Chains A and B, each alone.
Chain A
Amino acid sequence: MRIGAVAAKEFWALVRQPQLLLLLLVGPVLIMTAFGLSLDVRDILRPRALVVVKPGSEGAELFERYREEFTDRTQFVGTTGDLESARRRLQRGEVDAVITIPPDPLGTVASGERTPLGVVYNTINPVFGTRVPARAYALVLDLNQSLIETTIGGEIGNLRTIQERLNELDRRLEEASAAAEELASEEAQTVTTELDEALATLEGSLGALEESEAVEGDVSETLRGINDAQNVLGEVREVQREGTIGERSGLTDLRESVNSAQEALAALPDDVSPQVLTNPFRLETENLATPPDVVGFYARGVLAILVQHISVSLASLAVVRERLSGAYEFFEVSPLRPGELLAGQFLTYLGLVLGVNLAVAAVLAGFLGVPVEGGYLRMAFAMVLLTVASLGLGFLISALAKSQLQAVQVSMLLLIASGFFAGFLFPLSEMRGPGVLVSNFLPATYGIRALQDVMIRGETVSTYDLAGLGAMAIVALGAARFFVGRRKH
């Protein structure tokens, strides 16, 4: 019964606060919707890549041949021949990776070395930052595989031609060897000698018969035939004697074939290692930034979110508390101006939050050993900027809230939104649509980036973040002043 009474009281108290109910319902729904619409998981792992390749070179030809390998693995931005401009775009954050293809990749392989595929990226994120080298490694594997497939197809054709030539060579070699063996044999030489001697005896006998005129008819015709036979026989003997049997039996052609086959084989790289042949490309990565460890990286985000949350929470209760306690009515009658009230509260909260910042920074640097590359002065500057903008936002919430619960609720929603959309959990570069819109209104978005620039990269706060936080502080404080002063019934 008593529990029921309390439950009913709570229910009606909530129902009587439609704005709070609306916030309770709409706030989380909006955040979830924006989150769903803002993150494309497929794109998270595909860096924006710019390919640097010399136009008209063998590298450019290779890129065109394997273009899909590049475009499928990345969000392909385009090609350029200017490496320096590509690196500048990388430093400006317009692309995530610059891939450099050498002008003569196959020549390098032919000389026995693996061709370097240069991949330059610029990230300090030790988690999401690994996607560029990971993707680049996969790209090199793909390229190597594709290259091997197409190259082996071509080379198999060449080997077939060489094989056919060798078969012909083998056949002709066999014939020539048989002929040479036959002509050059001892038996053939004996027969040749005996035949030569017989022909000489026959020529002598016929010569004597012709002189004795004992034989009727024309003997001279027969003698010419013998002479011809002797001449042929002489050539045979000369070949046998001089060893030119190879040339005359086709061995010269055979040598040419052999030379040709040797040239074909010489065309193949003879001292290329199997590793080069199977992996013609190798990956050369370069990160322009020096990423810290995971704790070091996320510590800045935690710091920025803490600063924002403490500032917003403090300031969001400031005015609404005075209004609900009745003190604001007292102030309205006193000479205190709304701007003076805000300024007084602002100064105290600024001092308080900066004190907290100092303590947190001391823990970061002293206990966790997180380095501050850009120096403590720059870090303090970034934190002051973030604190001022966050306090401004808190005061604006306070000026508009109708109850402390409402102010607390909005502060909590802001904290949750910052976790998702300020670049703390997911890189801002992966945000799309509503997520980007929301991120622009969160001090932590600028604060995280500013602290990363200062603490990790060792740079000063960028003009963009300076302007963002400055504009947010001016607009929020101005609007808070307007709404606090306007609430006259």
Chain B
Amino acid sequence: MAAIRAEGLVKRFGGEEVLKGVDLSVEEGEIFGLIGPSGAGKSTLMRSLTGYLSPTQGEVEVLGRAPVAFGPKEKRRVGYMPQGFVLYGQLSVRQNLNFVAGLYGLRFGERRRRVRETLEFVELWEHRRKVAGDVSGGMQRRLQLAAAIVHEPELLFVDEPTANLDPILRRRFWEEFRSLRDEGRTIFVTTQYVGEAELCDRVGLLAGGSIVAAGTPDELRHQAFGGENIELHVAGEPSRLTEHLGLLEDLGSDVEVRGGQNGKGEAVSVVRLLVDDADSKLPEVLKAFDWADIRSANVPKPSFDEVFFRLVREQ
């Protein structure tokens, strides 16, 4: 069942159309990453999904209902981590979380328990007495995440959680998201780090106000390159292979051969071809080259930056 569904979602501010008919579906229990260049409308889309913004046109359903019509009961099922730190710098870490737990209607005993659990989960329990304004930016982001999950929401909206964080902290955040996903929660996350798309179950690429591609990271990669690459390293000059290239062209496309040397100074030919499914085609490719001295064969995965670049350029 879809936790989030958007069809033909249009959002205009004045005369400017920021979202131009977004179609989107996020299944329950998955991490859905929304990536896109700066100014693509990621935050606008997220705000439209949380109910903070009303769509100008189109339909949005979150947990089976239009989010702008959410009552307190539906809102308790949703958590939201905004892009910046919006809690109170004058309050302590625990006071901030206590406040948010109160907003979501957690009663005293439960609140106490959940505040502790959540602070331990984001590793802030030891810093609970510190004033939020005095802790590091990373801690503030973790506190903000704690505020989004303290009431154990089914669906979590997270807007650029790892922006401006160091790689170690970013990795920790993603571990926490996966942990939450494993508990059965749905996570909708936007990020400006394209590489983080790899960490999502499914990814939507937003560009120019529209979803230009959506699917698993591999599906997007496939979509960006039109298939998967197989790369063979064969001993000898490329001229030796010329008469056998016809076999490869029957198995794939974009066959490319170039010469080079290995570490010992021996001549090596690098053969690359694009296939629809590398796992199924690799045995056939190896069979076609069984006469040659194959030093290595692999299926290289292009970086998501490359995927992103290609998809956006195509758009």
A329 contacts B103, C-beta separation under 8 Å: no
Interface status of A334 (Cβ within 8 A of chain B) = yes
- Residues from chain B with a CB closer than 8 A to the CB of A333 are 50-52, 75, 78, 80, 157
Query: Once bound together, how far apart are the Cα atoms of A331 and B73, in whole Å?
Result: 14
A331 contacts B103, C-beta separation under 8 Å: yes
Query: Once bound together, how far apart are the Cα atoms of A220 and B76, in whole Å?
Result: 165
A332 contacts B52, C-beta separation under 8 Å: yes
Interface string of B219-247 (1 = CB under 8 A from A): 00000000000000000000000000000
Enumerate B42-79 residues with CB–CB distance to A below 8 Å.
47, 50-54, 68, 71-73, 75-76, 78
Interface status of B82 (Cβ within 8 A of chain A) = yes
B82 contacts A326, C-beta separation under 8 Å: yes
Enumerate B73-102 residues with CB–CB distance to A below 8 Å.
73, 75-76, 78, 80, 82-84, 86-88, 100
Give the B interface residue count (CB, 8 A).
27
- Residues from chain B with a CB closer than 8 A to the CB of A329 are 47, 52, 82, 86
Q: How far is the CB of B49 from chain A (nearest CB, A)?
A: 10
- Residues from chain B with a CB closer than 8 A to the CB of A128 are none
A335 contacts B86, C-beta separation under 8 Å: no
Q: How far is the CB of B249 from chain A (nearest CB, A)?
A: 55
Query: Once bound together, how far apart are the Cα atoms of A89 and B9, in whole Å?
Result: 69
Interface string of A308-336 (1 = CB under 8 A from B): 00000000000000000111011111111
Interface status of A160 (Cβ within 8 A of chain B) = no
Closest to A333 in B: B80
Q: How far is the CB of B153 from chain A (nearest CB, A)?
A: 10
Query: Once bound together, how far apart are the Cα atoms of A325 and B80, in whole Å?
Result: 15
Query: Once bound together, how far apart are the Cα atoms of A363 and B54, in whole Å?
Result: 52
B53 contacts A325, C-beta separation under 8 Å: no
A327 contacts B54, C-beta separation under 8 Å: no
Query: Once bound together, how far apart are the Cα atoms of A488 and B66, in whole Å?
Result: 15
Q: Quick one: given A325-B86, A489-B13, are A335 and B72 in contact (CB under 8 Å)?
A: yes
- Residues from chain B with a CB closer than 8 A to the CB of A330 are 80, 82, 86, 147
Q: How far is the CB of A260 from chain B (nearest CB, A)?
A: 103
A488 contacts B54, C-beta separation under 8 Å: yes
Query: Once bound together, how far apart are the Cα atoms of A489 and B53, in whole Å?
Result: 5
- Residues from chain B with a CB closer than 8 A to the CB of A489 are 13, 52-54
Interface status of B104 (Cβ within 8 A of chain A) = yes
Interface status of B302 (Cβ within 8 A of chain A) = no
Q: How far is the CB of A266 from chain B (nearest CB, A)?
A: 95
Query: Once bound together, how far apart are the Cα atoms of A329 and B83, in whole Å?
Result: 11
- Tell which of B53, B54, B75, B88 touches A334, judged by Cβ atoms closer than 8 Å: B75
Interface status of B137 (Cβ within 8 A of chain A) = no
Interface status of B39 (Cβ within 8 A of chain A) = no
B104 contacts A335, C-beta separation under 8 Å: yes
Closest to A325 in B: B86
- Residues from chain B with a CB closer than 8 A to the CB of A335 are 71-73, 75-76, 103-105
- Residues from chain B with a CB closer than 8 A to the CB of A488 are 52-54, 68
Query: Once bound together, how far apart are the Cα atoms of A488 and B50, in whole Å?
Result: 12
Query: Once bound together, how far apart are the Cα atoms of A331 and B51, in whole Å?
Result: 11
B51 contacts A334, C-beta separation under 8 Å: no
Q: How far is the CB of A314 from chain B (nearest CB, A)?
A: 15
Interface status of A255 (Cβ within 8 A of chain B) = no
- Residues from chain A with a CB closer than 8 A to the CB of B78 are 333
- Residues from chain B with a CB closer than 8 A to the CB of A332 are 50-52
- Residues from chain B with a CB closer than 8 A to the CB of A336 are 103
Query: Once bound together, how far apart are the Cα atoms of A337 and B157, in whole Å?
Result: 20
Q: How far is the CB of A76 from chain B (nearest CB, A)?
A: 62
- Residues from chain A with a CB closer than 8 A to the CB of B88 are 327
- Residues from chain A with a CB closer than 8 A to the CB of B13 are 489
A/B interface sample: 18 pairs, CB < 8 A = A325-B86, A327-B88, A329-B47, A330-B82, A330-B86, A331-B103, A332-B50, A332-B51, A333-B50, A333-B52, A333-B78, A333-B80, A334-B103, A335-B105, A336-B103, A488-B54, A488-B68, A489-B54
